[in-house]
Structure 1
Amino acid sequence: MKNSLFFCYTLSSLFLLWGCNNRSSDSEKKAKEANRAKIDSQMMGSPSAELLAVIPSKADADFLVEAASGGMTEVQLGQLAQTNSMNKQVKAFGALMIKDHGAGNEKLKALAASKNIILPDSVSNHQQKMKERLEKKKGEAFDRAYISMMIDDHKRDIRAFKSAAKNAADVEIKAFALDNLPILSAHLDSALNLQRKMGIPVGPLPYQ
């Protein structure tokens, strides 16, 4: 009887877990969970020194996952700027995001593949919702929301890349973060210049 109850409880728990996982569609979270499970599996037993040297840390894997999701978002929003903005400078900034973050995404993919790190195949749910809010805006309203978002995103990205450049366990991931900091800083400077030219006030973010 006890065995039967345990079996039923275990089976119901598995179905519940499957149902929760099945409802989750956040690609960024899935990639992080998959990487952590893989790293835990590789660390089981007594891995050799050679294996330990190539197993990435969870923090390094999370950084690449978040950077990939952020890079995809920058490209998609840059593409949106080409259709929803009437401002030539905003369109040019969006084109720069497509170019720079597109190139950065390709380098990131190659780096992740060399470290056997799984990357998301789409942006996070939160980033998708922000994009959907922007899609509803046109012209000046779009420009103000887009540039404000770019300032907010690049400030956050710079903090994350500075942390990885200082604290990443893997030397190549650390170098990747360090190499991208000047590009992110230049993007932030450009967005801040547009903010001043367009008279966008500093305050609550208009895309929320």
Structure 2
Amino acid sequence: MKKLLIVSATFLAVWMAQSCGDSAKNPQSEKPVDSAQNINETVKPVDEKSSQFAVDAANAGMKEVALGKLAQEKGQSERVKAFGTLMVNDHTKAGDELKALALKENITLPGELSTEDKKHIEDMSKKTGKDFDKHYIDMMVDGHDKVVSEFEKASDNVTDEGLKTWARNTLPTLKAHQDSAKAIKDGLKK
């Protein structure tokens, strides 16, 4: 054991001496790079299709979170309330992942819901009981049908690899939401 430690320490010392010695002997071994040039080489602009997908996904996710919170508060059915909680949790997580990716890819995402979405949520907040539950679940079925379709397209067609991977990884969760919303809708009819 002592022998192994001595050999490891010796190897480490030799490696460190060589690493330090190389740059001292040859100052050109690490050429300074203009920082603007470095940024241009490492951050390539994202194409319009990829950027638009990210913005649309962020909008949809923020809307799902806001509506999920409303469902937790206003829902009559326990299934609707639980689905609202699921929406808040899953879409917050996906939104955080998208924000990190957008920051890395230099994509500007919206910071809040559109005026139209805010107005719709305000109008929905006036609904109560079964009326609210039916409207919310109808929206969740329609919304997830649309979003699943968009994510399927993005999984194949978006050129930015990071967004394409994110779309593929998020898609199973969205499909599960779609199935759950449809099951709840069928249950509310009874």
TM-score, reference length from structure 2:
0.76
Q: Which residue of 1 is the match for residue 183 of structure 2? A: 193
Aligned residue type for 2:82 = A
Cα displacement (A) at 1:57: 0.3
Deviations 1:41-81 (A, max 9, x none): xxxxxx99x64972100111111111111111101111001
- What are the equivalent positions in structure 2 for 1:169-188 lying under 5 Å apart? 169-188=159-178
1:77 aligned to which of 67, 71, 78: 67
In structure 1, how many angstroms separate the alpha carbons of the residues matched to 2:95 and 2:64? 10
Whether the aligned pair in 2 keeps the contact of 1:57 and 1:169 (CA below 8 Å) is yes
Superposition RMSD in Å: 1.9
Aligned residue type for 1:132 = E
SS of equivalent residue, structure 1 residue 54: coil
Q: Which residue of 2 is the match for residue 98 of structure 1? A: 88
Q: Which residue of 1 is the match for residue 14 of structure 2? A: none
Q: Which residue of 2 is the match for residue 57 of structure 1? A: 47
In structure 2, how many angstroms separate the alpha carbons of the residues matched to 1:128 and 1:160? 22
Cα displacement (A) at 1:128: 2.0
Whether the aligned pair in 1 keeps the contact of 2:43 and 2:106 (CA below 8 Å) is no
Percent of residue pairs identical: 39
- What are the equivalent positions in structure 2 for 1:1-150 lying under 5 Å apart? 51=41, 54-150=44-140
In structure 2, how many angstroms separate the alpha carbons of the residues matched to 1:61 and 1:192? 30
Cα displacement (A) at 1:163: 1.1
Q: Which residue of 1 is the match for residue 7 of structure 2? A: none
Whether the aligned pair in 2 keeps the contact of 1:70 and 1:123 (CA below 8 Å) is no
In structure 2, how many angstroms separate the alpha carbons of the residues matched to 1:177 and 1:123? 21
In structure 1, how many angstroms separate the alpha carbons of the residues matched to 2:173 and 2:116? 24
In structure 1, how many angstroms separate the alpha carbons of the residues matched to 2:41 and 2:113? 31
1:154 aligned to which of 144, 150, 164: 144
Aligned residue type for 1:180 = T
TM-score, reference length from structure 1:
0.70
Distance 1:129-1:101 versus aligned 2 partners, 3 A rule: same
Runs (4+) of structure 1 exceeding 4 A deviation are 50-53
Aligned residue type for 1:92 = A
Deviations 1:157-178 (A, max 9, x none): 0111111111111111100111
Whether the aligned pair in 2 keeps the contact of 1:71 and 1:101 (CA below 8 Å) is yes
In structure 2, how many angstroms separate the alpha carbons of the residues matched to 1:151 and 1:166? 23
SS of equivalent residue, structure 1 residue 123: coil
SS of equivalent residue, structure 2 residue 181: helix
- Please identify the structure whose Cα radius of gyration is greater: 2
In structure 1, how many angstroms separate the alpha carbons of the residues matched to 2:99 and 2:108? 9
Whether the aligned pair in 2 keeps the contact of 1:164 and 1:174 (CA below 8 Å) is yes
